């Protein structure tokens, strides 16, 4: 069974700083199915990055994704006030068929 | 414009049943695999179930297998989740989410509906 482990659990930064969020898979996965979401309190998740590194429509270019195999990263080049939220990675698994989410990384204001 | 709206949540006793609905106001509902994802209070996201566009492929998380049934009615642009034998640990906000294409990202989400299982 695929497990996604996100780190750190909480990241405290000031606006303007660079954020680096990690998502580690328990087994090698296809980057084609690695996705990142942002969720703010009381809201549904919002698609940020798909296929590990492609930005979704309307997502600012300060957000970027990368990685392969078991290690993936979401980077925010300069954190804006509206970026403070929880970020989840997601991966499709074929055995058994379904989706796995990481436990989330909370980006908070320092 | 795709807009997913869930309904049917509420308070139910352990062992009880509830049926959630998700309606899509867009024009392409019948072309997409749909999913249910839940989030327990203060917790992370958990995928629950998915159903392909033609209902030919259906999958469940182990935590709900045998208790929950996903279905859809493309003529009504609607997705359903029949939840039976509910447990306290099923308490969560349930989101419906559209899958952009096979095995890929969830590009549209509903606003979520709260299900509370408590005596």
Q: What percent of chain A is modeled with pLDDT above 90? A: 91
Give the strand pairing for B92-99 and B106-109. antiparallel
Residues 23-52 of B with CB under 8 A from A: 35, 37, 44-47, 50
Task: Report how many Cβ contacts below 8 Å link chain A to chain B.
Answer: 58
pLDDT at residue B27 greater than cutoff 90: no
Cβ B59–A102 below 8 Å, yes or no? no
Q: pLDDT per residue over B30-59, tens digit each?
A: 999 999 999 999 999 999 999 999 999 999
Question: Would you say B108 and B35 are in contact if contact means Cβ atoms under 8 Å apart?
Answer: no
A9 close to B (CB below 8 A): no
CA dihedral of residues B4, B97, B47, A4 (deg, nearest 10) = -140
Task: Give the distance between the most distant pair of CA atoms in chain B.
Answer: 41
Q: pLDDT per residue over A8-51, tens digit each?
A: 999 999 999 999 999 999 999 999 999 999 999 999 999 999 99
A100: closest chain B residue by CA = B47
Res B116: pLDDT: 98
| Residue B103 pLDDT level (bands cut at 50, 70, 90) | confident
Q: pLDDT per residue over A46-65, tens digit each?
A: 999 999 999 999 999 999 99
Report phi then psi at B73, rounded to 5.
-130, 100
The mean predicted confidence, pLDDT, of chain B is: 96
A87 close to B (CB below 8 A): no
Question: Would you say A55 and A80 are in contact if contact means Cβ atoms under 8 Å apart?
Answer: no
Res A19: pLDDT: 98
């Amino acid at each position: 069974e695929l497990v996604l482990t996100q780190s750190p659990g909480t990241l405290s930064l000031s606006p303007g700083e660079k954020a680096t969020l990690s998502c580690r898979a328990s087994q090698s996965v296809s980057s084609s199915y690695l996705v990142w979401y942002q969720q703010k309190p009381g809201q549904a998740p919002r698609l940020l990055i798909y296929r590990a590194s492609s930005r979704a429509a309307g997502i600012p270019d300060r957000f970027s994704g990368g990685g392969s195999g078991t290690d993936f990263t979401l980077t925010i080049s300069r954190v804006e006030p509206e970026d403070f939220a929880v970020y989840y990675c997601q991966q499709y698994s074929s055995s058994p068929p379904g989706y796995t989410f990481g436990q989330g990384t909370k980006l908070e204001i320092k | 414009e795709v807009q997913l709206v869930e309904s049917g949540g509420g308070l139910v006793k352990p062992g009880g049943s509830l049926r959630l609905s998700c309606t899509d106001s867009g024009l392409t509902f019948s072309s997409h695999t749909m999913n249910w994802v839940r989030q327990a209070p203060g917790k992370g996201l958990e995928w629950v179930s998915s159903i392909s566009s033609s209902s030919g492929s259906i999958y469940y998380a182990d935590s709900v297998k045998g208790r929950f049934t996903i279905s859809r009615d493309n003529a009504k642009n609607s997705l359903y989740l029949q939840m039976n034998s509910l447990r306290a640990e099923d308490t969560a906000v349930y989101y419906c989410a559209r899958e952009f294409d096979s095995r890929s990202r969830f590009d549209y989400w509903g606003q979520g509906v709260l299900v509370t299982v408590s005596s």
